[in-house]
Amino acid sequence: MALDAERAEEIFASFGPVRCKRMFGGSGVFVGDRMFALEARGVLYLKSDETTDAEFERESCEPFSYDAKGGRRVVMSYRRAPERLLEDPDEMAVWARRALAVADAARKPRRKASAEP
């Protein structure tokens, strides 16, 4: 499954408008500047953390990983979306909202510039 704007619109129809950006040899899926999903090697992954990992594990959805230089395996905080969600926009919206919440929580707080008198 290559993810383009039209396919993303179908998958996330009940979630709301998303934007796709080519990256990582695949596509990042964004709401505003927050990436909450990615497509790589024809597989859709949703942002995950310790608050949602168990749900993905119950669905046997593995994390996104890739081989870095030097043969090191890198595991990212995205997990394969359950296949059934690709044809169920309402259920995908539930999972996408959770993934967006994880992306929001993962954002590093911006440092405030110190005010000088």
Residue 59: CATH number of its domain: 3.30.1460.30
Question: Residue 98: inside a domain, yes or no?
Answer: yes
Distance CA 71, CA 103 (A): 28
Number of domains making up the chain: 1
How much is the pLDDT for 51? 95
Q: Can you give the residue range of the structural domain that contains 70?
A: 5-106
CA distances from 13 to 2, 43, 85, 101, 116 (A): 17, 18, 12, 18, 48
User: 20 in a domain, yes or no?
Assistant: yes
Question: Smallest Cα–Cα separation from 23: which of 10, 39, 34?
Answer: 39
For the whole model, what pTM was predicted?
0.87
Residue type, 36: F
pLDDT digits (tens, 9 = 90+) for 47-72: 999 999 999 999 999 999 998 888 89
- Is position 56 within any domain? yes
- What is the distance between the alpha carbons of residues 51 and 53, in angstroms, rounded to a whole number? 6
For the stretch 71-116, pLDDT in tens is 899 999 999 999 999 999 999 999 999 999 999 998 866 555 555 5
Residue with tokens 């090191």: 72
